[in-house]
């Protein structure tokens, strides 16, 4: 019975989404999803938890406690990457690099400033997060670059790290096609981010 209810909810959400795409433009549907996502989640998850007998308030505060640790844990990484990035940027080396690379990258609508983040992303999550924060600070969160790096950060992963941890944990040494497949997917994520960012915010 409960499973059926879940299916009905899922299909009605999907139906609504398809109807929205049929009626309105891609851009406005994207905006509506972005606006509604958080309100929906803060209603659905606690409500579901409540009906499942979870002490929602207490469990929430229990989870929220970790927020401070997560934020504090990234400070050393941010300071480290900011040292390298700020030396690289305030010396003018970043301008030089993006000037050299921009003829290639501007063809797909990617500003040269974003290249260091795209290169860092598969290697180090905190490193890429640092570069993203720096670009957001320099160009503004609501600028084209600010939006693009946010989308790129969200749609790619720390591939090399995950590969090392997962395969390392079971002692697999020959990873066969895992790395090429994952890296191609990352590249597809980066290109898709640029295209989508241009359609919606360009």
Partner 1 sequence: MINVIWLAMILIGVGVAAIRCLGITVTPLGIYLAPTFEPLSQLTNGIFEYAKFAVELAIGLVGIMALWLGIMKIAEKSGLITVIARGLRPVMVRLFPDIPPEHPAMGSTIMALSATMLGLGNASTPLGLKAFQDMQTLNKHKDIATNAQCTFMALSTSSVTIIPATIIGIRSAAGSSNPTEIIAPVIVATVVSTTVALIMTKILQRLPRFQVENYIEENTEEETHEES
Which residues 78-107 are close enough to bind partner 1 by CB under 8 A?
Answer: 78-93, 96
Give me 16's structure tokens. Answer: 């609504």
Do 151 and 118 contact (CB within 8 A), yes or no? no
Residue 20 engages partner 1 in binding (rule: CB under 8 A): no
Q: Closer to partner 1 at the Cβ: 76 or 104?
A: 76
Closest by CA position to 113, among listed 133, 98, 131, 96: 98
With binding defined as CB under 8 A, does residue 167 bind partner 1?
A: yes
Q: How far is the CB of 175 from partner 1 (least distance, A)?
A: 5
- 25 touches partner 1 (CB under 8 A): no
Site for partner 1 in 30-49 (CB under 8 A): 30-31, 33-35, 37-38, 41-42, 45-46, 48-49
Regarding 8 and contact with partner 1 (CB under 8 A), the answer is no
- Cα separation of 90 and 105, whole Å? 22
C-alpha 115/C-alpha 200 separation (Å) is 21
Nearer to partner 1, 18 or 80 (CB): 80
Q: Give the span between the Cα atoms of 74 and 127, in whole angstroms.
A: 10
Please tell me whether residue 15 binds partner 1 under the rule CB under 8 A.
no
Minimum CB separation from partner 1 for residue 26, in Å? 9
Structure tokens at 127: 């490193």
The distance of closest approach from Cβ of residue 15 to partner 1 in the complex, given in angstroms and rounded to an integer, is 16
Site for partner 1 in 60-79 (CB under 8 A): 60-68, 70-72, 74-75, 78-79
Q: Applying CB under 8 A, what is the total number of residues that bind partner 1?
A: 108
Judged by CB under 8 A, the residue of 23, 25, 52, 103 near partner 1 is: 52
**CB–CB of 121/158 below 8 Å?**
yes
CA nearest 178: which of 165, 190, 191? 165
Handedness of CA 42, 46, 47, 48 (dihedral sign): positive
How many Cβ atoms are within 10 Å of 98's Cβ, its own excluded? 17
Q: Which of 8, 14, 99, 180 binds partner 1 (CB under 8 A)?
A: 180
Show the site string, 112-151: x = touches partner 1 by CB under 8 A, - = not.
Answer: --------x--xx--x-xx-xxx-xx--xxx---xx--xx
* Residue carrying the six token digits 């598969």: 122
């Amino acid at each position: 019975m409960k499973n059926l209810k879940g299916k009905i909810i899922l299909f009605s959400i999907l139906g609504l989404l398809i109807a929205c795409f049929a009626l309105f433009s891609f851009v406005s549907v994207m905006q509506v999803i972005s606006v509604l996502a958080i309100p929906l989640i803060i209603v659905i998850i606690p409500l579901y938890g409540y009906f499942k007998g979870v002490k929602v308030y207490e469990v929430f505060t229990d989870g929220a406690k970790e927020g401070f640790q997560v934020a504090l844990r990234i400070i050393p990484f941010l300071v480290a990457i900011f040292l390298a990035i700020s030396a690289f940027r305030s010396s003018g080396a970043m301008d030089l690099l993006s000037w050299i690379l921009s003829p290639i990258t501007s063809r797909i609508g990617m500003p040269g400033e974003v290249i260091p983040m795209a290169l860092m992303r598969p290697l180090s999550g905190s490193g890429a997060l640092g570069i993203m924060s720096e670009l957001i600070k320099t160009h503004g969160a609501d600028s084209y670059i600010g939006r693009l790096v946010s989308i790129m950060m969200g749609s790619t992963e720390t591939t090399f790290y995950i590969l090392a941890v997962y395969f390392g944990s079971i002692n697999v040494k020959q990873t066969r096609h895992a790395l090429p497949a994952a890296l191609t997917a990352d590249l597809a994520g980066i290109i898709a981010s640029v295209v989508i960012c241009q359609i919606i915010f360009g």
